Amino acid sequence: MLTNQYVACVNQELERLLVFETVFKEYLHTCKNIEKGNCYASENFDRLRLYLSKNILRYNRFVEQCARITAPSGYETFNQRLIEGLRGIKNGVTMTLRAIEPDRLNTRLFDAGMAQQVEARADIDAAFAQIEVCV
């Protein structure tokens, strides 16, 4: 793949990542509201878990699609770090999903999943910072 094509592709990936992250943040915010009792009558852990799991499946397909992209020469390390970061987010979101039980939230597991997502985002940011140093 040519460098220009790769950069355009990565930009598209980042736009999609932003949408996924926005959706995940809303679900996780709603989860906290349900836990506090500050929610609509139709909002509950079971329904939230169902919707979140459907979006995680879509995100998993997105990550695997990104992983199939071949980076041009000079971008291999960046691409590998980007994919590892995307997978880290996937693991963190999956952990938060496991924390949503039918009638309560496992706060310890939820917080660990959130921390893993933050770490994965930092890894992605570091990958982009490394490109700036190399260019």
Number of domains in the chain: 1
Q: Residue 114 is part of which domain span?
A: 3-134
Query: Residues 118, 50: contact at Cβ < 8 Å?
Result: no
Per-residue pLDDT tens for 96-108?
999 999 889 999 9
| Per-chain mean pLDDT for the chain | 92
Query: Residues 85, 117: contact at Cβ < 8 Å?
Result: no
pLDDT of residue 57: 97
Is residue 29 pLDDT above 60, yes or no? yes
Is residue 13 pLDDT above 80, yes or no? yes
What lies within 8 Å, CB to CB, of 46 at 6+ separation is 102
Q: From CA 118, how far away is CA 92, in angstroms rounded?
A: 9
pLDDT of residue 132: 60
